[in-house]
Structure 1
Amino acid sequence: MNALPAFWLSRGPLAWLLLPVSLLFRAIVACRRWLYGSGMLRSRSLPVPVIVVGNVFVGGTGKTPFVIWLARALAAAGHHPGIISRGYGGSGSVEEVLPDSAAGQAGDEPVLIASRTGCPVVVGRDRVAAARLLLQRHPGIDVIVSDDGLQHYRLPRQVEIAVFDTRGTGNGWLLPAGPLREPAGRMRDFTVINGAATAPGVAGQAWRMSLEPGNAWQLADPQRRMPLALLCAGRQVLASAGIGNPARFFDMLAAIGLQFQALPLPDHYAFERNPFEGRPEEIILITEKDAVKCRGNTALNGDARLWVVPVTAALETSLTQRILERLRGSPPA
């Protein structure tokens, strides 16, 4: 998704036209939650606690950088985390992901997470099956982080974390009249907002997350690293992003004083063709998520103009303690 439909951010005529369908969707969501809450449908059991990180707001809110931060924080606290994910864009089969796995097979985000965390990662549409394979392959894991899956109720969970960004809840309506997968007020343990301490429609205590860019590294030669300001000084620069909210990447670069042309691409863009062919810019800045896929294209992997901008999530250390406290107070399901 390159950009959200404009009517998802306000209650205009088209949103009102779709509202009856949205109300039906809301009823289905509520019924499904009730079936699991009443025990008529059951979550499967796992021998270790599960932390689910997901979105209520459809599209990119910064969930992947948060998952990376959380896995590192858990490891620093002495835990041995493993990660499961659906693997968007992958084959859908249950399989382990390595840092050099093909994004077309495993999905771009799981490959990035495996590379950045060093933690075991397993993908699969059936997240319970993914969790079981993860534990079978790595029996030392003592906590599982689920990348996405708030709505995957078959997966047991001890902690739920919802990630929003500055768009908040948009117009506050569920799909398709609005951008929400579930009601904004759904119960959860922690709320994280990417880029702000508060956001429209997001009630209750929230934890602010900021994304901090690091030194860029060259796709053709990953050992070459350079500060962004030095790399881009006096050069024509193109910034491109195939993520859920490309504007966030562009805003981050602009905030540190870079001048560039912007080229947004669809979320999970596969780079089967070269979108930079014929571009005159001397430097092309891309996201880590896009770099995972670009390395599989010979023309892109050898293009010396492509530089990857890594980002690191920053949050208050007290959030780690709160999550650990919740884990200690919640036995595995």
Structure 2
Amino acid sequence: PYHVQCTDSATWAGDEPLLMAQQALVPVVIDPNRVRGGQYLAQHCDVIICDDGLQHYALHRDIEIVVMDERRVGNGWLLPVGNLRELPARLRSVDFIILNSASIQNKHEIQMQLLPQALQPVNPASVSQFAKPPVEFDYLMTGIGNPQRFEDTCDSLSIVFHNTLYYPDHFHYRPKDVPSGSVIMTQKDAVKCSGFALAQWYYLPVKATFSEHFLSDLTTLLNTRTPVKQTNGF
């Protein structure tokens, strides 16, 4: 297991683990053997959150949470015909269904809002603390799973960009991959570009918010579901 440090590079630790370590300030561990990684964390933590772990059945779980966007279950078919790893009926057995962009359709779904925050320089050392972020950019650049949503968010904030440049999700940027000129990107992109960022590169952070009702229900589950000691050690 590797304990991600806030000063690690995204090339070494991965963009999402590094971002979680920097933002959440809690232990983040990566390990190709997720059971082994979980056993390591169980020695140091009371609660373990496993990202993208729903179908990893070697991992014991006390609470299951599914996060979906506006595509929901798509055409309802499994890969490769659809985009599902399991049939939609699996959703009936999870504890929470969180929608990060679509409107809720029943009482069992929970709305999560991603609220844009103030623009931040990718390399703060290259910008005066009194500098005002621009509202117009030469490029919108991103390498995420749903780039259109980022573009729509910038549009809603009246952030002007003249060109778009999309890379695959988890793309590892090199200096030559970023065009000259001013650039706006996501925070997930920024952690991969911070080592060679120019002063005119900015990112748009977002903050996830939930209803107090959900947070209360989650806290209740955490307090009432007693973890069962598993043969795999946690």
TM over 0.5: yes
SS, match of residue 88 in structure 2:
coil
Per the alignment, residue 147 of structure 2 pairs with 246
The RMSD of aligned alpha carbons is: 2.1
What amino acid maps onto 2:191 in structure 1? V
How many Å separate the matches in 2 of 1:185 and 1:259?
43
SS, match of residue 144 in structure 1:
coil
- Report if aligned partners of 2:114, 2:206 keep a CA contact under 8 Å in 1: yes
Q: Which runs of 5+ in 1 are unaligned?
A: 1-93
The sequence identity of aligned pairs, in percent, is: 35
Residue 262 to residue 328, structure 1, CA distance change in 2 (3 Å): same
Q: CA deviation at 1:288?
A: 1.2
Once the two structures are superposed, the pairs formed by residues 96-107 of structure 1 within 5 Å of their partners are 96-107=3-14
- Report if aligned partners of 1:217, 1:224 keep a CA contact under 8 Å in 2: no
Q: Would you say 1:320 and 2:215 are equivalent positions?
A: yes
Please, which of 185, 189, 206 is the counterpart of residue 290 of structure 1?
189
Per the alignment, residue 124 of structure 1 pairs with 31
Per the alignment, residue 40 of structure 2 pairs with 133
Residue 135 to residue 271, structure 1, CA distance change in 2 (3 Å): same
Q: CA deviation at 1:251?
A: 1.0
What amino acid maps onto 1:97 in structure 2? V
SS, match of residue 202 in structure 2:
strand
Please, which of 94, 97, 103 is the counterpart of residue 191 of structure 1?
97
What amino acid maps onto 2:88 in structure 1? A
Q: Deviations over 1:151-203 (max 9, x none)?
A: 1111111110000001111111110000111112212110000112237xxx7
Q: Deviations over 1:3-54 (max 9, x none)?
A: xxxxxxxxxxxxxxxxxxxxxxxxxxxxxxxxxxxxxxxxxxxxxxxxxxxx
Q: CA deviation at 1:287?
A: 1.1
Please, which of 116, 141, 160 is the counterpart of residue 213 of structure 1?
116
Q: Deviations over 1:99-141 (max 9, x none)?
A: 11122222110100000011011111222211222233xx3x2
SS, match of residue 231 in structure 1:
coil
- Report if aligned partners of 1:217, 1:225 keep a CA contact under 8 Å in 2: no
Per the alignment, residue 232 of structure 2 pairs with none
Please, which of 1, 13, 16 is the counterpart of residue 109 of structure 1?
16
Residue 188 to residue 305, structure 1, CA distance change in 2 (3 Å): same
How many Å separate the matches in 1 of 2:30 and 2:216?
28
How many Å separate the matches in 1 of 2:81 and 2:61?
29
Residue 166 to residue 224, structure 1, CA distance change in 2 (3 Å): farther
Q: Deviations over 1:64-105 (max 9, x none)?
A: xxxxxxxxxxxxxxxxxxxxxxxxxxxxxx210011112222
SS, match of residue 154 in structure 2:
helix
The runs of 4+ residues in structure 1 deviating greater than 3 Å are 222-227
What amino acid maps onto 2:42 in structure 1? L
Residue 240 to residue 133, structure 1, CA distance change in 2 (3 Å): same
**Matched length:** 224
How many Å separate the matches in 2 of 1:250 and 1:149?
28
SS, match of residue 191 in structure 1:
strand
Per the alignment, residue 304 of structure 1 pairs with 199
- Report if aligned partners of 1:216, 1:225 keep a CA contact under 8 Å in 2: no
Per the alignment, residue 157 of structure 2 pairs with 256
SS, match of residue 212 in structure 1:
strand
- Report if aligned partners of 1:215, 1:226 keep a CA contact under 8 Å in 2: no
What amino acid maps onto 1:150 in structure 2? L
SS, match of residue 143 in structure 1:
coil
